[in-house]
Structure 1
């Protein structure tokens, strides 16, 4: 997304921000040709829309230009590091749908029959992508008047900072309110998803800013689908004695008694004020450490065999190969005053050996 600012300390230049960074551009026609990197302070920038008739000659780039790769026909881009880890993020929803660690193992579940925005069908809003890390905002699930899990997961995002030769393992994606979102939700907002890929570690952050002059509440989640070999051999540790709402039983509140969560049928729980670090085990061995910051709840979900068979974008037997462990703010909505910003994140890492 390209934005233009007035540089209050040097009035003969505009500052242009695109996916490559900030540029100082002479305030004349075709000034873009003589741009140079901007090294001033952002506090001295004021966003503008009227350039007084000047045509800077900015390239007519589209938001899709940065998403040149595809995974299951979903346009996106790849992050990688020197250690051999990689991740794939889609244009739709800024959704991480693949995370491969250096051992070659895929850590994210992505349905082979998922819907979503493809290059051949870029209908907006798009069908949800079933898998990876859907960004639920500004509403979690059906706990409110909006479409389930909010609307940003079904819209195209733009690249604020893209992977480069110098920083191939990090990227930032943005979306803001527009005429279309105002028909669903009246508030002015700015949301960012940051993705950082380290050796054996993936960090995903969600940041929301209130750009308007009225406070608004929201709920949110990073709805992470993990790929597992066999859910019947999986345990999630760290939730003993934590209260949860059981969505399969009218959200009745229950206290987790067992030392670990095990899944043999449908499970849909919102754990309230859980520990910030959980451990996923497969066949009795630690598989992943799951940590969250900023989020106050944890959602654990698996559709089980009956609901899986009823989901059109989910193969019947795939309930055996996934578990959702989600960093979430569900029970108590976050309220942002005008100009206020909130950030939450999920940190996924291989356990120490």
Structure 2
């Protein structure tokens, strides 16, 4: 069956509360107009803040599938610690001598207020879902950020909730007269029962940059990667599907499209102690970041061109 899509339906963000419902599910804007909740008739749900367009909750059968720090700021005062923060246009500390060198770590997408563009009903091979689109452009940035990164751009970020998956997609547009370079990353914090019982499969034989060892490069030799210490690796040219196993059974599958790399991160005990908004400190036992993106090298977007990439997170419950 071919994919069936309806045209975007604008959401009534001018009211203090807005709700759009259909046979697929519903989209509800919070009373303070600062978040959107997607719900399906099956009971699956997702919550997205307009600040950073950050997904802060994804539930199936009332089970929370994303890890969120109990000390994370959710009021727009700083980047959210947990959920799915968006990294653009730079990953990590900006390198000196580059066009992004004046920006904060991980760029401005995760700390900007996004616009709510509308909702869409989708059905693919009988799998019904609801989607919300968010937008951010150079016109949305404050003067200070524009001065640090003076390129014309447009971002469209889509979050689609289905019965067993959460899909996130980014479209980057360059309407300007000059090309620009960028990194992009979906910084997904997956909730897990216990870090000692999980493994990550699909990265064997790949070259990775180990940020805990000064950024040196190594070759992965494990079919199933176990996390027993602080882990911060960028796997280059990764396959499209990565699986998180619990006791050798699939727990999550992370499938990427149009993205080159995968970052595997867990701060472990020593790293969590140094992160001020990480609570509880033992929370590292219940999360693993499997982050799809294009960050090992810069992506170049020519004038009047468009780039897109996305991630599908599937839970095996």
Establish whether residue 332 from structure 1 lines up as the match of residue 279 from structure 2. Answer: no
Residue aligning to 1:159: 116
List alignment gaps of at least 5 residues for structure 2.
1-7, 20-27, 96-100
Equivalent residue number for residue 106 of structure 1: 64
Shift of 1:283: 2.6
Distance 1:310 1:79, change over 3 A: same
2:42 corresponds to: 83
Structure 1's consecutive aligned runs of 4 or more residues displaced over 3 angstroms after TM superposition are 59-68
| CA deviation after TM superposition for structure 1 residue 60, in Å | 9.8
Higher strand content, 1 or 2 = 2
Q: Which residue of 2 aligns with 1:142?
A: 93
Pick from 309, 314, 317 the counterpart of residue 344 of structure 1.
309
Name the residue aligned to 1:297. 261
CA change 1:163–1:63 in 2 (3 A) is farther
Q: CA deviation at 1:88?
A: 0.5
Q: Residues 331 and 74 from structure 1, CA distance in 2 versus in 1: closer, same or farther, beyond 3 angstroms? A: farther
In structure 2, the residue corresponding to 1:263 is in which secondary structure?
coil
> In the alignment, which of 230, 235, 239 is matched to residue 271 of structure 1?
235
> How many positions carry a matched residue from both structures?
289
The answer on whether the counterparts of 1:79 and 1:168 sit within 8 Å (CA) in structure 2 is: no
Q: 8 Å contact 1:95–1:132 — kept in the other structure?
A: yes
Q: SS in structure 2 opposite 1:240?
A: coil
Among candidates 109, 133, 150, match of residue 172 of structure 1: 133
Matched residue, 2:78? 127
**TM-score with structure 1 length normalisation?**
0.76
Q: Check the 8 A contact 2:93/2:105 in 1, yes or no.
A: yes
State which structure, 1 or 2, has the greater radius of gyration over its C-alpha atoms.
1
Q: 1:199 — aligned with what?
A: 163
Aligned-residue Cα RMSD (Å) equals 2.7
Task: Give the match for residue 7 of structure 1.
Answer: none
- The alpha-carbon deviation at position 84 of structure 1 amounts to 1.8
Partner residue of 2:23? Answer: none
How far is 1:155 from its partner? 1.1
Q: In the alignment, which of 220, 229, 233 is matched to residue 256 of structure 1?
A: 220
Alpha-carbon distance in 2 for matches of 1:265, 1:163: 42
